[in-house]
């Protein structure tokens, strides 16, 4: 059985935890303030969930979701995540995260920053362009007509295949946006960021996305 570790248990982390438990996974949730502050969420999630420190969530997760404000990505523990699939939901909001020069000059992307921080982990960008609330309301069974699609990006094809299967279980089609360096195609202010899209629509959105410097 796969355990999903969550580093961050806010809007997105709590929703991914709900989806994971609903689909039979064990979850270990964590935040910055400590496991004792997560007792209400653990009680809601039931016996398949427990709270831990973020280091223990990283250690115990077979797959680990990093879902923190981007400004805190450097706090994410490194060694326990070695070799693991790490799903990155983070987005860059300068008003929240402060200015990050490499993102402002578009020499890198948010998930590439996390990948550089976690050099031996297999970072897959996912869940970044859907409103947290919709994670538990927009999923539909595989094969449903006009099913919602979510984009992923990553440099490891096996890791992307694992995340695609997870998304399928959670109720979503997957569109592969390519390697991490293409993740900007689904960043804030691109056409696919936010609205409900089928796979076909999302592919078109990714194709016409423009970087800030090209707008």
Please report whether residue 28 would count as binding ligand NAP according to CB under 6 A.
Answer: no
Nearer to ligand NAP, 7 or 166 (CB): 7
Residue 141's Cβ-side half-sphere holds a number of Cα atoms within 13 Å equal to: 1
Please report whether residue 190 would count as binding ligand NAP according to CB under 6 A.
Answer: no
DSSP 8-state code for residue 205: H
Among 33, 43, 98, 101, binds ligand NAP (CB under 6 A): 33
**Residue 133 contacts residue 15 (beta carbons within 8 Å):** yes
Please report whether residue 31 would count as binding ligand NAP according to CB under 6 A.
Answer: yes
Q: How far is the CB of 44 from ligand NAP (least distance, A)?
A: 15
Nearer to ligand NAP, 91 or 190 (CB): 91
Q: What secondary structure does DSSP assign to 115-172, as a single string?
A: HHHSTTSEEEE-SSSS-GGGGGTS---TT-TT--EEEEEES-HHHHHHHHHHHHHHT-
Q: Is 116 helix (H, G, I), strand (E, B) or coil?
A: helix
Site residues (CB under 6 A) for ligand NAP, limited to 39-98:
54, 67-70, 72, 75, 89-91
Please report whether residue 22 would count as binding ligand NAP according to CB under 6 A.
Answer: no
Site residues (CB under 6 A) for ligand NAP, limited to 101-130:
127-128
d(CA 110, CA 93): 11
Q: Which stretch in 24-32, 118-126, 150-158, 195-203 sits in contact with ligand NAP by CB under 6 A?
A: 24-32
Question: Following CA atoms 67, 68, 69, 73 in sequence, which dihedral angle do they give, to the nearest 10 degrees?
Answer: -100
Q: Nearest residue by C-beta to ligand NAP?
A: 10
Among 4, 5, 13, 51, binds ligand NAP (CB under 6 A): 13
Binding site residues, ligand NAP, CB under 6 A: 7-13, 30-33, 54, 67-70, 72, 75, 89-91, 127-128, 131-132
């Amino acid at each position: 059985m796969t355990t999903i570790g969550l580093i961050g248990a806010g809007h997105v982390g709590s929703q991914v935890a709900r989806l994971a438990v609903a689909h039979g996974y064990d979850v270990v949730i964590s935040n910055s303030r400590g496991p004792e502050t997560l007792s209400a969420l653990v009680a809601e999630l039931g016996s398949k969930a427990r709270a831990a420190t973020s280091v223990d969530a990283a250690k115990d997760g077979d797959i680990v979701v990093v879902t923190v404000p981007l400004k805190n990505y450097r706090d994410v523990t490194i060694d326990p995540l070695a070799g693991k699939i790490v799903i990155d939901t983070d987005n860059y909001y300068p008003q929240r995260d402060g200015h990050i020069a490499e993102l402002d000059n578009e020499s890198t992307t948010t998930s590439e920053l996390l990948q550089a921080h976690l050099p031996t982990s297999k970072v897959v960008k996912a869940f970044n362009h859907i409103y947290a609330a919709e994670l538990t309301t927009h999923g539909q069974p595989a094969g449903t007509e006009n099913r919602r699609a979510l984009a992923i990006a990553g440099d490891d094809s096996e890791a992307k295949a694992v995340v695609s299967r997870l998304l399928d279980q959670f109720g979503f089609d997957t569109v592969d946006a390519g390697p991490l360096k293409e993740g900007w195609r689904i960043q804030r202010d691109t056409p696919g960021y936010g609205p409900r899209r089928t796979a076909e629509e999302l592919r078109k959105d990714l194709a016409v996305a423009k970087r800030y410097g090209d707008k």
